[in-house]
């Protein structure tokens, strides 16, 4: 993998921040876009812009074909057998909400249990809390252990005949923990529960095979994997998607409409009401092509090397506390940390002044931060275009910040 | 000096770091007349302010506890120092003057003399996502002063 060459494909990596070269380590929040994705947006609006699925003219046919090409690419990327089972949403959050509304509201009743984990992003907690209030569904959580992994030993107690859904992240955005997806899916299936995997932090970084996972639903966002903002994916098994109620009502999701009723359209259109985000769906295609061309195994290997380098350097800093699994095989390219006695926002600001972009705060995981007994952390997260030199620049900037804030008080 | 270093020192001025480390106003006042609790959910900063009034209803003793970044902790210590000895009315006027300066509704020069030390927070105005760190303590105490003595009041920063 030629990182130097890859970097040339990302125009933003040339910019300076506060007079220093940008070191972009906030990839778990969103990733930068290669030229091919930016060009695809311009190309679409300059040459093919039209509404989809209803025109009888050339441009509409072209736009429709381009969206469907992206859908097919997304299906191939996750080894999904049918592109029709790939629903385009706004983001993974909407994908998770789609399942809560379309499946949860229809099939869950009072006393049914939904099993989540303590690692979840707010987007995989709040939709279920809303459903719990509405339907009397009971929420349970797989506990997180001090090293950031899940306490899977608790599964036999947590999974019962009442468990109707197990919804969990494949990789923690806050700590980087990689979750043994197949193991949880198998355990859930054994009690007849439906499974939903939040793959937002997995799909961009590791090969994803929905058939191997065996899950019923998988959700992720395009913008975390080189694609544009405003496009997410919900993949689901056909029999589940067919049995669900529509999410939003309107154009495109119907077959026939009378004044008092409607019939729903076939997949995927049943869940794509109204004019979709056409241009961004089109530009998601080249993002997937780019990742496929580089290869997910090579990307994973590169991120492991960067993460190892960062972890080893931070381990040598007595003032720095690192969270998450020490075993790199159980960790994605995320390094969450704190400087003792310092608030992560001060650390984040000091790093920003050196051109190093990290995330600081609760990472939309307030319950997890409570469990770790910290208000938040600073987080560096890596991607295919990051270099070893950038890891060193990050560590150097952090050392500088520690020295600045920890210098002896003014006499 | 590199640009980043100069900016770091401009934002986190020496006097700010001194107030950050200063413990003089840390703690809880026994038998407080005013009691308020403020949080900034975005960054998890939390502050609890207790105030004991003395002769002429002046704010005789102000103490705070909680946790937060350098900016919020330094601003809390400066708030306690600046408002002690003032009447609630004077305190309200000073709080408004400080907030107007931080929110760029008023120029730095408009800060009353009593708030001279607060000029050290001027650099924060260039970091819009950090301004709330500086105003949390002030909003919290303002909320406390606005309620009846003896009651506890909560303040929550909103985005």
pLDDT value for B30? 92
B121/B111 Cα distance (integer angstroms): 12
* A13 neighbors A7 (Cβ within 8 angstroms): yes
State which residues form the domain around B21: 3-156
* A132 neighbors A164 (Cβ within 8 angstroms): no
Q: How far is A28 from chain B (nearest CA, A)?
A: 18
What is the mean pLDDT of the segment spanning A260-272? 96
Q: CB distance A353–B7 less than 8 Å?
A: yes
Q: Which residues of A touch B5 (CB under 8 A)?
A: 353
Q: How many CB atoms neighbour CB B100 within 10 A?
A: 14
Which chain B residue has its CA at the smallest distance from A375's CA? B44
**Residue B24 near chain A (CB below 8 Å):** no
Q: For residue B142, give every residue at least 6 positions away whose Cβ sits within 8 Å of its Cβ, in sequence order, or none.
A: B92, B95
What is the mean pLDDT of the segment spanning A313-334? 97
Fold of A3-25+295-406: 3.90.1150
Cα dihedral A68, A74, A77, A82, rounded to 10, equals -70
Q: CB distance A20–B4 less than 8 Å?
A: yes
Q: CB distance A349–B14 less than 8 Å?
A: no
What is the mean pLDDT of the segment spanning B93-97? 96
| pLDDT score of A411 more than 50 | no
Q: CB distance B44–A354 less than 8 Å?
A: no
In chain A, which residues touch B (CB < 8 A)?
A: 18-20, 342-346, 349-350, 353-355, 360-362, 366, 369, 375-376, 401, 404-405, 409-410
> Which among A266, A244, A243, A265 is positioned nearest to A254, based on CA atoms?
A265
Question: Which sign does the torsion angle of CA A227, A232, A235, A239 carry?
Answer: negative
Residue A327 to residues A148, A153, A304, A307, A331, Cα–Cα distance (Å)? 11, 19, 11, 11, 7
Which chain B residue has its CA at the smallest distance from A362's CA? B43
**ipTM beyond 0.95?**
no
Quick one: tokens of A184? 């949880």
Which chain A residue has its CA at the smallest distance from B133's CA? A345
Quick one: tokens of A278? 């056409």
Q: Percent helix, strand and coil across chain B, each rounded to 5?
A: 55, 20, 30
| pLDDT score of B88 more than 60 | yes
List b or e across B13-38, with b for residues whose CB sees 16 or more CB atoms inside 10 angstroms.
beebbebbebeebeeebeebbbbbbb
* Most confident of the ranges A50-59, A214-223, A341-350: A214-223
Q: Which residue has the tokens 């057998």?
A: A81
Q: Which residues of A touch B11 (CB under 8 A)?
A: 349, 353
Cα dihedral A411, B6, B11, B13, rounded to 10, equals 10
Q: CB distance B43–A410 less than 8 Å?
A: no
What pLDDT, in 10s, does the model give residues B140-154? 999 999 888 877 888
Instruction: Report which secondary-structure segment, H or E, holds A339.
Output: strand A334-339
What is the mean pLDDT of the segment spanning B26-36? 94
Option in A342, A346, A376 nearest B44 (CB): A376
* B38 neighbors B156 (Cβ within 8 angstroms): yes
Q: How many CB atoms neighbour CB A17 within 10 A?
A: 16
* A334 neighbors A358 (Cβ within 8 angstroms): no
Quick one: tokens of A255? 């077959």
Residues of chain A with CATH 3.90.1150.10: 3-25+295-406
Q: What is the CATH number of the domain that holds B21?
A: 3.90.1010.10
Q: Which residues of A touch B130 (CB under 8 A)?
A: 345, 349
**Residue B71 near chain A (CB below 8 Å):** yes
Option in B4, B8, B69 nearest A345 (CB): B69
For B36, phi then psi, to 5°, come to -135, 155
What domain count does chain B have? 1
Confidence band of B159 (pLDDT split at 50, 70, 90): low
Q: Which residues of A touch B21 (CB under 8 A)?
A: 409
Q: How far is A136 from chain B (nearest CA, A)?
A: 28
A285/A226 Cα distance (integer angstroms): 10
Confidence band of B5 (pLDDT split at 50, 70, 90): confident
| pLDDT score of B2 more than 80 | no
Q: Which residues of B touch A339 (CB under 8 A)?
A: none
pTM of the model: 0.93
Residues of chain A with CATH 3.40.640.10: 37-292
A84/A99 Cα distance (integer angstroms): 16
pLDDT value for B3? 59
What is the mean pLDDT of the segment spanning B98-107? 94
Q: In what order do the strands lie in the sheet with A163-169?
A: A86-89, A232-236, A217-221, A194-198, A163-169, A113-117, A138-142
Confidence band of B1 (pLDDT split at 50, 70, 90): very low
What is the mean pLDDT of the segment spanning A127-151? 97
pLDDT value for B152? 80
Q: How far is B88 from chain A (nearest CA, A)?
A: 31
Helices assigned H by DSSP within chain B: 3-11, 14-21, 70-83, 88-102, 131-145
* A118 neighbors A368 (Cβ within 8 angstroms): yes
Looking at the domain that runs over A37-292, which CATH code has it been given?
Answer: 3.40.640.10
pLDDT value for B17? 92
What is the mean pLDDT of the segment spanning A287-314? 98
What pairs with residue A336 in β-bridges? Answer: A323, A379
Share of chain A above pLDDT 90, in %: 92
A172/A334 Cα distance (integer angstroms): 9
Q: CB distance A353–B11 less than 8 Å?
A: yes
Q: How far is B139 from chain A (nearest CA, A)?
A: 20
Instruction: Kindly give the pairing relationship between strand A356-357 and strand A334-339.
Output: unpaired
Confidence band of A409 (pLDDT split at 50, 70, 90): low
Interface mutation target, options A343, A355, A369, A407, chain B, most CBs of B under 10 Å: A343
pLDDT value for B55? 81
Concatenating the DSSP letter of every residue in A26-38 gives BTTT-----HHHH
Quick one: tokens of B96? 């408004």
Option in B4, B41, B68 nearest A353 (CB): B4
Confidence band of A408 (pLDDT split at 50, 70, 90): low
| pLDDT score of B56 more than 90 | no
Helices assigned H by DSSP within A244-357: 278-294, 296-315, 344-352
What pLDDT, in 10s, does the model give residues A101-123? 999 999 999 999 999 999 999 99
- Catalytic residue numbers of A read 364
What is the mean pLDDT of the segment spanning A193-208? 98
Q: Percent helix, strand and coil across chain A, each rounded to 5?
A: 45, 20, 35
Which chain B residue has its CA at the smallest distance from A369's CA? B44
Which chain B residue has its CA at the smallest distance from A339's CA? B69
């Amino acid at each position: 993998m030629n990182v130097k060459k890859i970097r040339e494909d990302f125009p933003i990596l040339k910019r300076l921040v506060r007079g220093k070269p940008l070191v972009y380590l906030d990839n778990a929040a969103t990733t930068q876009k290669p030229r091919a994705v930016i060009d695809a947006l311009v190309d679409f609006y300059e040459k093919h812009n039209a509404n989809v699925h209803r025109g009888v003219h050339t441009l509409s046919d072209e736009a429709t074909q381009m969206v469907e090409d992206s859908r097919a690419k997304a299906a191939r990327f996750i080894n999904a057998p049918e592109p029709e089972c790939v629903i385009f949403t706004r983001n993974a959050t909407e994908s998770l909400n789609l399942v809560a509304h379309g499946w949860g509201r229809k099939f869950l009743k009072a006393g049914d249990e939904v099993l989540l984990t303590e690692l979840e992003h707010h987007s995989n907690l709040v939709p279920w809390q809303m459903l719990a209030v509405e339907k009397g569904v009971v929420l349970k959580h797989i506990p997180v252990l001090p090293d950031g992994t899940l306490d899977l030993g608790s599964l036999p107690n947590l999974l019962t005949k009442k468990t109707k859904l197990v919804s969990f992240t494949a990789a923690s955005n806050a700590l980087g923990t990689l979750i043994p997806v197949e193991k949880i899916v198998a355990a859930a299936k054994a009690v007849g529960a439906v499974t939903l995997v939040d793959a937002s932090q997995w799909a961009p970084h590791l090969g994803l095979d929905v058939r191997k996972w065996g899950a019923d639903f998988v959700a992720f966002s395009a913008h975390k994997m080189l694609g544009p903002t405003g496009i997410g994916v919900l993949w689901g098994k056909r029999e589940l998607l067919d049995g669900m109620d529509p999410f939003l009502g309107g154009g495109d999701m119907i077959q026939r409409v009378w004044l008092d009723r409607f019939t729903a359209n076939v997949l995927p259109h049943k869940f794509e009401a109204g004019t979709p985000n056409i241009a961004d769906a089109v530009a998601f295609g080249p993002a997937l092509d780019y990742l496929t061309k580089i290869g997910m195994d090579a990307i994973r290997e590169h991120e492991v090397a960067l993460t190892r380098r960062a972890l080893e350097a931070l381990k040598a800093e007595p003032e720095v506390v690192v969270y998450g699994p020490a075993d790199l095989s159980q960790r994605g390219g995320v390094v969450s940390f704190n400087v003792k006695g310092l608030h992560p926002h001060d650390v984040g600001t000091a790093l920003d002044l050196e051109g190093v972009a990290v995330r600081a705060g609760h990472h939309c995981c307030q319950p997890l931060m409570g469990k770790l007994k910290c208000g938040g952390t600073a987080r560096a997260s890596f991607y295919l275009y990051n270099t070893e030199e950038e890891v060193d620049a990050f560590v150097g900037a952090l050392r500088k910040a520690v020295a600045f804030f920890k210098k002896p008080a003014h006499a | 000096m590199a640009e980043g270093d100069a900016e770091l020192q401009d934002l986190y001025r020496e006097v700010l770091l001194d107030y950050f480390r200063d413990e003089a106003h840390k703690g809880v006042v026994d038998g407080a007349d005013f009691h308020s609790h403020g949080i900034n959910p975005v960054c998890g900063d939390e502050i609890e302010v207790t105030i004991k009034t003395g002769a002429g209803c002046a704010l005789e003793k102000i103490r705070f506890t909680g946790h937060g970044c350098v900016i919020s902790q330094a601003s809390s210590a400066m708030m306690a120092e600046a408002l002690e000895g003032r009447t609630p009315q004077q305190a309200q006027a000073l709080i408004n003057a400080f907030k107007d300066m931080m929110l760029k509704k008023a120029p730095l020069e408009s800060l009353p003399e009593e708030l001279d030390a607060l000029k050290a927070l001027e650099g924060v105005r260039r970091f819009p996502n950090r301004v709330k760190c500086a105003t949390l303590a002030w909003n919290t105490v303002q909320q406390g002063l606005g309620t009846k003595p003896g009651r506890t009041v909560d303040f929550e920063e909103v985005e």
